[in-house]
């Protein structure tokens, strides 16, 4: 495949993906059901390990989803509903913990790992590699 065809295909794919994103954004506001599902996917089920209440089949998770739906109907914000569960079950109930003192290491460790990885890559690139002709002599 020539470079010009490859560039055209890449441009068509990029434009297609951009259209999908724009259509998704333009389609409208989220419904209450969408909000409940979104919030439910951010709260862990206290009975099931590692499963969000939106995905858990347990009765406890269903009851918590009912609470989410009630709070949405009452006009609570997403943050208020998440805080409601955090107050009752601690911050460990939230799948993505808040960026604060206790969870700071959880958020910073991946960034430090990426920085260390780039450092290792660039430090290896500076080391001159002897040419095979020089090694034979």
Q: Is the predicted pLDDT of residue 134 greater than 60, yes or no?
A: no
Full DSSP string of 5-71: HHHHHHHHHHHHHHHHHHHHHHT-PPPHHHHHHHHHTTBB-SSSTT-BTTT--SHHHHHHHHHHHHH
Q: Is the predicted pLDDT of residue 137 greater than 60, yes or no?
A: no
Overall average pLDDT of the 63-82 stretch: 95
Q: Is the predicted pLDDT of residue 47 greater than 60, yes or no?
A: yes
Structure pTM? 0.57
């Amino acid at each position: 495949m020539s470079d010009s065809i490859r560039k055209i295909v890449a441009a068509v794919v990029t434009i297609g993906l951009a259209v999908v994103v724009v259509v998704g954004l333009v389609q409208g506001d989220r419904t209450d059901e969408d909000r409940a599902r979104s919030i439910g996917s951010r709260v862990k089920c206290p009975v099931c390990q590692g499963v969000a209440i939106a995905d858990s089949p347990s009765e406890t998770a269903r009851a918590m989803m009912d609470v989410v739906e009630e709070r949405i109907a009452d006009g609570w914000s997403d943050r208020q509903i998440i805080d409601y569960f955090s107050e009752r079950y601690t911050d460990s109930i939230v799948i993505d913990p808040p960026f604060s003192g206790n969870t700071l290491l959880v958020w910073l460790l991946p960034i430090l790992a990426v920085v260390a990885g780039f450092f290792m890559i660039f430090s290896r690139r500076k080391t001159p590699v002897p040419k095979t002709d020089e090694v034979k002599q």
